[in-house]
Amino acid sequence: MSIILGIDVGGSTTKIVGFENSECFGMLQVDASDQITSAFGAFGKFTTEYGLRMGDIKKIIVTGVGASYLEKGMYDIPTTRVNEFIAIGLGGLKLAELSEAFIVSVGTGTAIVKAERSKITHLGGSGVGGGMLLNLSERFAGVHSYAGITEIAKTGDLSAIDLCLRDISREKIGNLPPETTVSNFGNLRDNAKPADFVLGFINMIFESIGMMAVFATLGSNIKDIVLIGTLSSIEHASTVFDTLAKIHPVRFHIPEKAIFATAVGAALSDN
């Protein structure tokens, strides 16, 4: 066997994928209190779950903010490090099955890269992301996980939070649909429920990220935008992006297994 492992080491969450002969055969995520524990825990769980021996693994390629903690390698297996933005670009294109796109990686914060056939460029980012969503949701609704956030948001009512175009105008303005947000939290009601707040946070974050991505496409012939990262699993993302796509000449994509895209890109960087 000649297996390559791609590992994306985040602040406390590690994603790991396995490739053999350029084909992905496994994906796994592990949460832990620190980067080293998370990374080695992911490695141990992955090798156990897929029945791998040390000799089966040709190389480990690490990326992410916690990759610097693995400079000495893992278990004497050849270990290299790849720039996270390169991994984001390669992984996003692979999972979306595109040859070029703007890749938006939303984890604790947000990074945007322009991925072309022969070049991957980091365009910038924002502190708006999962860290904001988790902490605001915990403070206002007492939910501590993405699963809890997704569940409570299903009962939320945005009309108790946001000011929409239909709230202030009877006439159509340009190509803007009536549900277009005019002001996030601009219509906050006194009786707004915790679920309303959580849905409002989600909507604000994804609208901000979506518009950053739209602005990134201006002046470019590339109009595909791919969302990857932890927040790609939030169901409301597709609703926000569908609305934005009605207004702007772009195509949004949220690939299956998008949370593993950066780990996939790390593994593919060896090709």
- Take residue 62 and report the two structure tokens written for it: 């690490």
User: Is-same-fold flag (3-87+262-268; 98-254)?
Assistant: yes
Pairing relationship of beta strands 13-20 and 120-126 according to DSSP bridges:
unpaired
Task: Note the pLDDT tens digit of each residue in 223-264.
Answer: 999 999 989 989 899 999 999 999 999 999 999 999 999 999
CATH superfamily of 3-87+262-268: ATPase, nucleotide binding domain (3.30.420.40)
CB-based burial label for 197 (10 Å; 0-12, 13-18, 19+): buried
Task: Note the pLDDT tens digit of each residue in 2-28.
Answer: 899 999 998 768 999 999 988 999 999
Region 30-37 average pLDDT: 82
Query: Among the CATH numbers 3.40.640.10, 3.30.1600.10, 3.30.420.40, 3.30.499.10, which is that of 98-254?
Result: 3.30.420.40
Which of 85, 99, 109 has its CA nearest to residue 261? 85
Domain ranges of the chain: 3-87+262-268, 98-254
Model-level pTM greater than 0.75? yes
**Alpha carbon 107 to its chain's center:** 5
Task: Note the pLDDT tens digit of each residue in 101-154.
Answer: 999 999 889 999 999 988 999 999 999 999 999 999 999 999 989 999 999 999
- The greatest distance separating any two alpha carbons of the chain, rounded to the nearest whole angstrom, comes to 69
- Take residue 173 and report the two structure tokens written for it: 């303005």
Task: Note the pLDDT tens digit of each residue in 66-115.
Answer: 888 887 888 889 999 999 999 999 999 999 999 999 999 998 899 999 99
DSSP assigned state of 171: S
Pairing relationship of beta strands 23-31 and 120-126 according to DSSP bridges:
unpaired
**Predicted pLDDT of residue 1:** 65
Residues 6+ apart with CB under 8 A from 226: 92, 93, 95, 96, 98, 101, 102, 103, 104, 252, 253, 254, 255, 258
**Predicted pLDDT of residue 170:** 82
**Alpha carbon 49 to its chain's center:** 25
**Predicted pLDDT of residue 34:** 81
Task: Note the pLDDT tens digit of each residue in 181-200.
Answer: 999 999 999 999 999 999 99
Alpha-carbon dihedral angle through residues 146, 147, 148, 150, given to the nearest 10 degrees: 80
